[in-house]
Amino acid sequence: MGFHSQLPKRKVFPDVFILTGLLLVLSVLMGCQTAEIKKPFAHNPVIWADVPDPAVMRVGDTYYMSSTTMHMNPGLPIMKSKDLVNWKMVRYAYPILSSDEKSSLNNGKEAYGEGTWASSLRYHNGRFYVSSFSNTTKKTYIFSTDNIETGDWQRVEIDALFHDSSLFFDDGRVFMIYGNDDIVIVELTADATAIKKDGVNRVLIPKASRVAGDKFWVPSEGAQMLKVNGKYYLNLISWPANKMRTQLIYRADTLLGSYEGRVALTDKGIAQGGLIDTPDGKWYAFLFRDRGAVGRIPYLVPVHWKDDWPIYGVNGKVPDELPIQVTHQGFNNIIESDEFDYAANQPLKMAWQWNHNPVAEGWSLTDRNGFLRLTNLRLDKSFVETQNTLTQRTFGPVSTAHTLIDVSNMKTGDYAGIGALQSAYGFIGVEKTKEGLFIVMVSGEKDQWSVIERVPLTEAKIHLKTYMDFRDLKDTATFAYSVDGIEWKPIGNTLQMKYSLDHFMGYRFALFNFATEQTGGSVDFDFMRLE
């Protein structure tokens, strides 16, 4: 017998069974639709990417957040949200902070790990304020505007370094609260433009770390002040030796009064930030967690009040699931792919930041339509010393960056491609030598680096990819190339990424081009696609 004759004959069902089956299928489909319509609950981390030292405030039904971006420019990002979960980039407070040699990567100097640090965000008498300080310039900055999303910034420089400072308005007076271990309060002029002569300037809380122990890797810092129901609450963090970041809370009946403090949270090292309320009266703490090479990632912590104290977490723990229903949860424009199709004078997408100060003559979006062109203006020793390196945050749990590069105009001694930027770095790129073009995978630290693998390249265009794996603190980067963007070949070894205080930020995807022998070479990037 043939194969088909061995199959059982198909049974013919009465119409009633067919109708019943159709109704059953319909009910299942309707059930699926209902499940899709029902809003899921948000989860922690709210952003699995480097958004450290968050400062959050609410104006009406809109939340705003500022964060640390260190040596990257533009800097001091402003983000907005309607639900405390999904955040969108609005703008930056400054295009560059300073044109000094360190900020510009000139004459062998650099500002890695410096730039601007922990900020504070305020709304007072119809005006928005964001303040920060810089270890590069040793100054404190206050930026203000009537419209935080579109208004012009007024910039004030105070010739003093107020570490992790919190700008605070109270009863017609203006203060900065700052410091490390000893927390200090200094009074500013009423317009928040200078230190007030003969104003308050004293220790507010001596040895504020003491409530968390007696030995510390990092004493108390990260001040964020808030007034609730007539009482004053100061959020701080500390890092007790051989333990983890710890959130502290202090309170007083008057701003300059006697403060009592306690440990607020010791879970997973989640700490540093402040308290925020919702329009319907719920409370949260917006903090961050050290998460290895990806950086410091934001967590939202439910808070309730007991005896006029904020109680952080659920039974002292930060939950994975949050009591907030959302239609989606994503990066929005904080991380974004780019096809480099820009109109004349159109700014780069806000997800992008330059490593240190950009040099306008060395990059262009219009020299070749649909491409980012990077041109070498000088000779450099390494990937981390070159100017005009364009970066975006890496993100978890896994992420991939893919670019297509045209190397037709490279010169001998040039290197260009896409890298994993931190103190211990790696990249995949193209090297041009006297013998021709080569695809290379490089790893190094500072100006000490080596080519791990070199493959001859006969094409003018090549697809390059880097893969990041941050699951369970694996923190690895691998690299691959493709002629057609379909078939990929791995190259080099696995980069074991590590979070280093030299840079003090999570790894960045970085598009770069640098020269080692002669200037004038250029490369064109067709796109940057993040997955």
Q: Which residues are catalytic?
A: 53, 221
C-alpha 117/C-alpha 288 separation (Å) is 14
C-alpha 380/C-alpha 374 separation (Å) is 14
Strand order in the sheet with 154-158: 120-124, 127-134, 139-145, 154-158
Q: Can you read off the two tokens belonging to residue 156?
A: 């004030």
Strands 414-421 and 75-81, how do they pair?
unpaired
Longest dimension (CA), the chain: 107
Instruction: Please list the residues that pair with 437 across neighbouring strands.
Output: 432, 457
Q: Comparing C-alpha atoms, which of 225, 219, 239 is closest to residue 179?
A: 219
Strands 173-180 and 260-265, how do they pair?
unpaired
Strand order in the sheet with 55-59: 55-59, 62-66, 75-81, 88-94
C-alpha 112/C-alpha 136 separation (Å) is 9
C-alpha 499/C-alpha 331 separation (Å) is 22
Element holding 37 (H helix, E strand) = helix 15-37
Count of residues in the chain: 531
Burial 273-312 (b: 16+ CB within 10 A, else e): bbbbeeeeeebbbbbbbbbbbbbbbbbbbbbeeeeeebbb
Give residue for tokens 């119409």.
15
Residue 259, classified by CB atoms within 10 Å of its CB into exposed (0-12), middle (13-18) or buried (19+), is: buried
C-alpha 83/C-alpha 326 separation (Å) is 8
Please name the amino acid found at residue 490.
P
Q: What is the DSSP string of 107-163?
A: TT---TT-SB---EEEEETTEEEEEEEETTTTEEEEEEES-TTTSPPEEEEESS--T
Instruction: Please list the residues that pair with 49 across neighbouring strands.
Output: 395
Strand order in the sheet with 309-312: 271-277, 283-290, 296-306, 309-312
C-alpha 271/C-alpha 487 separation (Å) is 44
3-state secondary structure of 67: coil
How far CA 416 is from CA of 112, 407, 459, 491, in Å, comes to 21, 8, 15, 16
